[in-house]
Chains A and B, each alone.
Chain A
Amino acid sequence: MSTLIPMAGDLAAWRGRARFAQLAVLGGEVRQVLYREGGYLVLRAEPPLPRLGESWPALYWAELEAERWYGLAFSAQEGQGRDLLDSNPQLFAFPYGPVRETQSEAIFHRIVSGGERIAAVELRPFLKRRGVERRLGEIPLAWLPRVAERLAALSSVADSLAVARAAEAATGAVPPPRAELWRVVFAELERLYNHLDYFARQAATATLRVGEAQAATLKEGVQRLAEQLSASRFLRGLVAVGGLVAEPPLPSGSWLAELDALQRRAAAYLDRLLATELFVDRLERSGAVSRQGALDFCLVGPSARASGLGQDLRVDPGYGAYPELGLGVPIHEEGDALARCRVRAEELRISFDLIQRAVSALRRVGGPVHNPPGPLPPGSEALGYAEGPRGETLAYLRCDASGQPHWALRPASQLLWPAFAQGMRMSSSQMDYIINQVSFHPLQAAWDR
């Protein structure tokens, strides 16, 4: 399972030919990861690096993080909002968060505005930084998925899969086919309750209280199905390096009947939601990201597919049991909040189907669910990836000559938050702020790490 193609050369020269994926600082060594149709490329970079974030927006925060947390040297750069304030005395800035409406994560933004219109949203991340990458480097191989799945609860499966797949690539422990089928069931269940969580919150931003309540009830139904398989409402404790921790109970007839009922209720719900003018009108043309904008910000997941980019790691390059199960990738061109909503609505249906097909394949495919990994070979390097509910999740592992592992995680949310801020810039009223924050559905805990 080789996922990395080492390349020589300059990152700037790849602009337009490959998608930037990750800037990883691992025990003093720097790796720049790019994605080109079919696979990942990795460049070894020698510090000091030229700062590219001004011209290639996807790199802006990656460079800032590498500078702030890992001491890479870059030239100084001012925040965009402050530039606006200096040049326009009509504008003022006010804080949003970190204590905000209840039951939400702590986020902190500065909103620059001249009145009704938002001029810029300045992001202030890392309030919740817990040092997940450092912790991953301190622990034995068997604990890696247990720590990785606590990066962010709503992407537990995607994050633990990315880390497990990196360790599998480094140790050569290929998961058995049955484990890969189970992983599809878990990953798609996770996508279901994430997208339903999104619909609940998005309905709330359009003041559809019944719509919010019904999506939350559907989400509860999916989480209870997940709990029956895994004894965890967030599908924790399942993924192991080399497959699964243990064989879960095969879904019973009543489990499948409940899944079927949820699928029908969700389909009826989405028909109602997308036929509600109040809802559709609020989302249409709000927070639009053009196709070029999505390329510049290297958007991933449903947000990229709503801006006309047909990228989905499950299809290209394809991994695990996805190529044999097969799936379509819904694409919309408009790039606005409504397109992101429609992409998720179609993905919900695809995920239900994938679970049904993976479960019936589980009845045919026997065998073990775990291939025990050996120790990490000193000097090894590997990249693990998974298509989470928000898009591409990456985990870069470098084991140095002494056998000490170094980890760098790149959750989808790291690319979604800056794209959200850009979508708000100069184009939106303050009413659009919360609608679009929900529309990208990013997780602060994942970005902060």
Chain B
Amino acid sequence: MPSWTWQGLRAGRQTTRYPKRPPEPAELGMSWPSLGAAEFSAELAASCPTAAISASSQGELRIDYGRCIGCGICARHRPEEIAMLRRCDVASTARAGLIAPELLGPAPGPLARFRGSLHLLHFDAGSDGGEESELQQLVSPAYDLHRLGIFFTPSPRHADVLLVTGSPTAALSPGLLEVYAAMPAPKWVVAYGTDAVSGGLWSERGVDAYLPVDLYVPGSPPSPLALLRSLLLWLGKEVVDT
């Protein structure tokens, strides 16, 4: 019988050096449209499958990263002006902070003053399984969330944070409210993935139509590092981005 322990030790360190060192390009994960000098047009707005493109009151181009699924259709409409860029820093504590170009990163949350560990309860409210796959990678050796004092728990009674994936469906939204009610206060909610943030392709309702959301991490799906980074910033920890 092979010795798995020996094999595991021999493999050496597999884990990212983030947050002590900047992320490797391969860890960034998802590409987002960067606005550059692009100007708004109704035709450009109509090219977006999730209606993420709009104009500000001054007529300037805005992209709602809370609705964007990174499909790249807008970049092909304006190849000289809009580029798709890999980045893992799209997240915010306020829904309005996700509208490019005025992005607001996650602000330190109420737990920033404390040093204890954080326990997350994951609730799938109707995702396409991509977020779940990335959560599994997050606890695998490549990212190893546990080394940073952040853990998953299967019980609402032990959870500080409800991590919701997917736009809540009619069948699962009652369960979402029930699970939230079963968590002891103080408690917080993270919307993980574009569907959870805004409903994405499927609906106009994100998690914040049901529960107060404290941290928005959009993406289709967001990379493991995007969640790791935004949780650390929300916890008031230091991260090295560049």
| Interface positions of A (Cβ within 8 A of B) | 98-106, 126-132, 135, 139, 142-143, 146-147, 150-154, 197, 200, 208-211, 213-214, 216-217, 219-220, 223-224, 227-228, 231-234, 236-237, 245-246, 272, 275-278, 443-446
Q: Are A146 and B69 touching (Cβ within 8 A)?
A: yes
Which of the residues A219, A231, A446 comes within 8 Å of B84, measured between beta carbons? A231
Give chain A nearest CB distance to B211 CB in angstroms.
15
- B125–A213 CB distance below 8 A: no
Q: How large is the interface on B (under 10, 10 to 19, 20 to 34, 35 or more residues)?
A: 35 or more
CB of B154 within 8 A of chain A?
yes
| Chain B residue contacts of A272, Cβ below 8 A | 2, 4, 7
B63 contacts the other chain (CB 8 A): no
Q: Which residues of chain B have C-beta atoms less than 8 A from A213's C-beta?
A: 8, 140-141
Q: Count A-B pairs with CB separation below 8 Å.
A: 164
Other contacts beyond A98-B124, A217-B140, A223-B137: 14, CB < 8 A: A98-B175, A99-B179, A101-B154, A102-B121, A102-B154, A128-B126, A128-B169, A130-B126, A150-B69, A150-B128, A213-B141, A217-B11, A219-B140, A220-B140
Residues of B within 8 A of A223 (CB): 137
> Do A211 and B132 touch across chains, with their CB atoms under 8 A apart?
no
Q: Top 3 A-B pairs ranked by shortest CB distance?
A: A153-B130, A216-B140, A106-B124
B97 at the interface (CB under 8 A from A): no
B133: which of A98, A197, A227 is its contact (CB, 8 Å)? A197
Contacting pair A443 B129 (CB below 8 A):
yes
Q: Which residue of A lies closest to B120 (CB)?
A: A102
Give chain A residues whose Cβ lies under 8 Å from the Cβ of B126: 106, 127-130
Asked whether any CB of chain A lies closer than 8 Å to the CB of B123, the reply is: yes
State whether A150 touches B220 (Cβ < 8 A).
yes
User: CA separation between A445 and B125, bound complex, in Å?
Assistant: 11
Q: Select one of B120, B167, B171 contacting A126, CB under 8 A.
A: B171
Q: State which residues 104-122 of B face A: CB under 8 Å.
A: 120-122
A128 to B165 CA separation, bound complex (whole angstroms): 11
**Could you list 14 examples of A-B contacts with CB < 8 Å?**
A102-B154, A103-B122, A103-B136, A127-B169, A142-B73, A152-B129, A213-B140, A214-B11, A217-B141, A220-B140, A220-B142, A231-B84, A233-B29, A276-B4
Assess A103 versus B152: contact at CB under 8 Å? Given A135-B201, A150-B220.
yes
Please report B residues at the A interface, Cβ cutoff 8 Å.
1-2, 4-5, 7-8, 11, 14, 26, 29-31, 49, 69-73, 76, 84, 86, 120-142, 152-154, 156, 166-167, 169, 171-172, 175, 179, 200-203, 220-221, 223
Quick check: B132 and A143 within 8 Å, CB to CB?
A: no
For residue A308, give the distance in angstroms from its CB to the closest CB of chain B: 29
| Contacts A102-B153, A216-B137 given; does A276 touch B130 at CB 8 Å | no
Nearest CB to that of B155 among chain A residues?
Answer: A99
> Residues of B contacting A276 with CB < 8 Å?
1-2, 4
Taking CB atoms, residues of chain A closer than 8 Å to B29 are 227, 233
A residues in contact with B8, CB < 8 Å: 210, 213-214
Q: A197-B133, A217-B14, A275-B2 are in contact. Are A106 and B172 (CB under 8 A)?
A: yes
Complex Cα gap A208–B8 (Å): 11
Given contacts A135-B202, A237-B71, A272-B7, contact A154 B172 (CB under 8 A): no
Q: Known contacts A103-B152, A200-B140, A210-B7: does B171 contact A129 (CB below 8 Å)?
A: yes
From B126, which residue of chain A is reached at the shortest CB distance?
A128
